[in-house]
Amino acid sequence: MSSIYQAVEKVIALYFDGLYHSDVSLLEKVFHPKAHYVCATEDPLMYLTMEEYFPIVARRQSPASRKEKRQDKIVSISFAGTTTAFVTLNCAIGEKFFTDFLSLIFVDGRWQIISKVFHFDIKDPVV
């Protein structure tokens, strides 16, 4: 496995940890300050900057505190040259099961998420 692939995997591991623990400090390490957060699953379109998104995460009860089972999974990683990557992944928070499309760029000596576009489905309740 190439070191570029492993470097992106490490960023995604921090991303998964940040979401699971609602840890903004971890998410700030993986998102570029000018990143976009976009979802069209519900109307109207959700389009947030990091300044708008991080406070939402900070207020949210973490899946870890609810002892939710982690469902993190990288589906694919692809590259365009040595400075652009695209990651498809799945994860779950509460009743929502997410498919995320993350665009990453290599700037300032590290991989950073510049765009998160995602869809979610509501999971069936466990009876």
Element (H, E) at 53: helix 50-59
Nearest-CA neighbor of 83 among 16, 8, 2? 8
Give the rounded distance of the alpha carbon of 50 from its chain centre: 12
Task: Give the residue-averaged pLDDT of 22-35.
Answer: 98
Ordered structural domains, the chain, with CATH: 3-122 (3.10.450.50)
Residues pairing with 93 in the sheet: 96
Asked if residue 44 has a cis previous peptide bond (ω within 30° of 0), the answer is: yes
pLDDT tens digits for range 32-70: 999 999 999 999 999 999 999 999 999 999 999 999 999
Q: State pTM to two decimals.
A: 0.94
Cβ neighbors of 79 (< 8 A, separation 6 or more) are 4, 5, 85, 86
- pLDDT of 126 strictly over 60: no
